[in-house]
Amino acid sequence: MALYTLTIAVIFLYIFITGFHDEGNLIATIICSRSIEAKKALIIASVAQFLGPLIVTTAVSTTIAKDIIKYSYLLKSGENISLLILSGILGAALWNFITWYYAIPSSSSHALIGGILGPFAIEYGFHSINFYGIMTKVIIPLFFSPIIGFVAGYILTLIFWKLLKNAQPSVNSFLKKLQYGTMFLLNIGQSANDAQKGMGLIVILMMIKGNTHSFGVPFFVKYIAAFMISFGLLFGGFRMIKSVGGRIYRVRPFHSFNAQLSSLLVVTAATLVGAPISGTQLVNSSILGVGARERPSAVRWQFAKAIFAAWITTIPASFIFSSIIYMVAKLL
């Protein structure tokens, strides 16, 4: 019972870590373009982050609970389920801390998926993994959402450039005001998507322990998850802002608006259909799309390559970390 309680506590802590590791990406362009003052943006975004898990569909948590590990192996794990999930979370958290410390915009979503797969592969072999579910519900959305974000950023920049090419400089004030709405909605959608990943793992634990008999998420779990991801953004969000908002492309209100809107469209669609995606990937790719359309030579592609390398290595790295942690834990 103690390990079960500890595991749930660590999952909530991971949701907090996701808040300060990933969610600052969502307001990076707004702050760096000076569309909204930093403290004001952070407060508004944190409120939206709190509301997201409470009011948005829990389709993503169901995907995490049903489509990563085969359900028969979840049932088979019995009392060992807490140690398996705890090791997975710790492996993902270790990778997150490494990338957060070096301000590398990697994906907590990728880290979580890789972290959960490791211990189950060690304990039951790779046949315990729901490869079809992971491929269709997790891997494809995670890897294709940045491509869609890039294309959306490119197309929206093209459209609004044509619409606003003869506009007066005062149009920037209008774009800044619009970003209050895009920022609020984007943070609602992405916080719901990110927090639900941890909520799905808690549902697994509760089902195996007999504390619930469905994939529905209890309200108290939603409430605590909402609190944790919101405060995670408040405490650590600024560290990633410089990397995302300034090192890829020099953003102004026009670029920030297009990046925000393209990210919002993809996040909304993914969250409604239950596809877990990475806000970090999405925002970065949207900025790349915006910059590529306006002035490709000004895009810092070298930094983009480093981000891409982090995306590719995150799942294997967290898989290895969680596997090692699980093996050591079993020995102890």
Task: Report residue 62 as tokens.
Answer: 């169901």
Q: What is the C-alpha to C-alpha distance for residues 101 and 93, in angstroms, rounded to an integer?
A: 12
Number of domains in the chain: 1
> Locate tokens 């994939």: which residue?
215
Which neighbouring-strand residues pair with 129? 69
Tell me which residue range forms the domain holding 131: 1-331
Q: Which of 319, 274, 216 is nearest to 67 (CA)?
A: 274
pLDDT tens per residue across all 332 residues of the chain: 789 999 999 999 999 988 877 777 788 888 888 888 888 988 999 999 999 999 988 888 888 888 899 988 988 888 899 999 999 999 999 998 888 777 676 778 888 999 999 999 999 999 999 999 888 888 888 778 888 999 999 999 999 999 988 888 788 888 999 999 999 999 999 898 889 889 999 989 988 887 766 677 889 999 999 999 999 888 866 665 655 555 677 788 898 899 999 999 999 998 888 888 887 788 888 988 998 998 888 787 876 777 677 778 889 999 999 999 999 999 98
Q: What is the C-alpha to C-alpha distance for residues 280 and 53, in angstroms, rounded to an integer?
A: 18
Task: Report residue 222 as tokens.
Answer: 């939603």
User: How much is the pLDDT for 29?
Assistant: 82
Opening angle at CA 90, ends 89 and 93, nearest 5: 85
> Locate tokens 């639900």: which residue?
196
Torsion of CA 36, 38, 42, 44, to 10 degrees: -30
Angle between helices 108-124 and 2-21 (to 10 degrees): 150
